[in-house]
Every structure is written in structure tokens, then in C-alpha cells.
Amino acid sequence: MSTSDALPRLIVRHPELSDSQLAPFAAALERAPERRDARVAAWPAVVLRRDEVERLAETAGVDAALVPAKLSLADFRLAAFDMDSTLITIECVDEIADYVGRKAEVAAITEAAMRGEIADYDESLRRRVALLAGLPETTLQRVWDERVRLTPGAERLIGALKSAGLKILLVSGGFTFFTDRLKARLGIDFTRSNVLEIADGRLTGGLVGRIVNAQGKREALEQACRQIGCTPSQAIAVGDGANDMEMMGIAGISVAYRAKPLVRARTTWSIEHGGLDTLLDWLPEASAGPAGTGA
């Protein structure tokens, strides 16, 4: 293998990628990029540090990744996703709370937990769920029908991962009512999430069984790997909050999606501008194949 073959690719992406956004990278590398399409540009065999790439990406307002030269989806067997604000655009517990006029209160706790400012995640979730006590069970269906939306690029990404032979894990600190429906809609292989306690058709404000916290997410990824016969290094983990970091920490590739700074600092790549299917431009089905072109 030549020295250049061992160097990573730099891939820059934006839904409407302009020459001016590429200019800082071209100046740093002293060469023009290979333009793949209107959204993606690449430089093979680059010598840049991650912090330099992150600084340039922030300046240009783009997503950028240093990708090992031969890395592709063929190197992975499992993709694990957080649900709230990752695979879907909302935080379900916040939206449920809106039906009792407590959204702001619950959302403040959720935000602090995702930033890693609440040491006891289990207690923070119990506090939020307790505020839902008395809501009709039918409220969950209303949230699903009226507010749950897939994150841009999610459906395309899941489809491409499945086509490439990867199994999909949805692991969430949210609730089974929603993960069960996403599993059916997207053809997800494994799910793990929390169970809301319901009695006489109403939420009690409690949870049933062990809470899926950061440790629970890591264990879910490890269990899914065992079931399909791979190691965590053959897994991709995608999330946005502090409770995703344990599973992301053992995965071969971790991707922060619109994530908190604490999470971005500890993951392989970060998506701030494109959809979830940005990942397909960084990990094509084959290392020599064309990248995807989703928004």
C-alpha cells in the first residue's frame, strides 16, 4: 500500500454546496476538490487534523468528515439509532406533555439531560413521566399522528443500510408506543425502549421495568451484535444526546446528528447541515462506488 492509499479522504457536504464554501478547504489543501455533484466534494489522500477540519467546516457552514481511504458500508454489520431528535424530529415526552400544558417544564428537563447536565438520567425521566399522569392513552396516538415526523434523509438511509446488508437497531430513552410503530414503518430489526405504565386507559405517571439509560443503550448495542455475530467495532451508532455516548463510544463509527457540543466532541463525525443520509456520502456501499445524492 502506498502512503497516499493510507491517507484519509476528506468529504465535504451541504444540501447546496457552493464554491465559496469549498474555498477554505481548497486553500488549506492547496488543491481543488473532486466535485461529485451539487452537494458533495472530496479530496483524496489529505493530511489534515480533525480539529482543522472541524474549524474549516464551522467557518464554511458545511458537514465534513475525514474518512479512511478504503472504508465503506461493507465494513459494518449493524447500525444503531437513537429515536428522539435523531430518527424523528421531536422529543416524544415533550410533545405528550404539551397535551397537559407542561411542555416547557418537561422540555427544560429533557434539554438539560441531553446536554449531560443531569447526573441521574433515570430520575430525570421519572420526573418528566410523572407530569404525564392522568393523560388518556389515546394521547399517544395523537402525538404519533399529529407530530411524529421522520428526520430528513432517515428513510433513505435506513433503506440503503438494509440493502447493504446491515441490521438496524432502534434504541431509545423514549417509549415503546413509538418505537414499535417506527419498527413496523421502517422495517427495523431490533428495538429497545421504555414502557409507560397505563391503567384504566390512562397514563399513571410511572414506568414499567428497567429504564433504558446510557448503560441500557450500550447493552442493547452489544446484545444486537451478539445476535447477529459481529463485534461493536462493526457497528455504526447515531445519536444526539449525552445518554447516547456510551453506545457511541464502543461503536466502530459514531455519528452525532444535530447534537449537543459534549456529544460532537466525542464522536467520529457530526452532521449539522444535511439530512441523516449524509452518512451515505461518507460510507458508500463500496469504497470505489459513487456516493449518494440525497438532501
- To the query of whether residue 82 is one of the catalytic residues in this protein, the response is yes
Residue with cell 474555498: 23
Query: Starting at the edge strand that comes first in sequence, how are the strands of the sheet with 253-257 ordered?
Result: 202-208, 190-199, 167-175, 78-81, 235-239, 253-257, 269-271
Between the CA of residue 75 and those of 68, 121, 129, 220, 278, what are the distances in Å? 11, 33, 40, 20, 18
Torsion sign across C-alpha atoms 56, 60, 63, 67 = negative
Active-site choice (5, 19, 63, 82): 82
Closest of 196, 260, 190 to residue 226, by C-alpha: 190
Burial of 228 (0-12, 13-18, 19+ CB in 10 A): middle
- 54 C-beta neighbours (distance < 10 Å), count: 15
Strands, DSSP E only, in the chain? 9-13, 34-35, 40-43, 63-67, 78-81, 167-175, 190-199, 202-208, 235-239, 253-257, 269-271
Burial of 173 (0-12, 13-18, 19+ CB in 10 A): buried
Q: Residue 31 has what DSSP assignment?
A: S
Torsion sign across C-alpha atoms 30, 293, 80, 107 = positive
Active-site choice (5, 37, 63, 84): 84
**Ramachandran category for residue 289: left, alpha or beta (phi over 0 → left; psi -120 to 50 → alpha):** beta
Active site residues: 82, 84
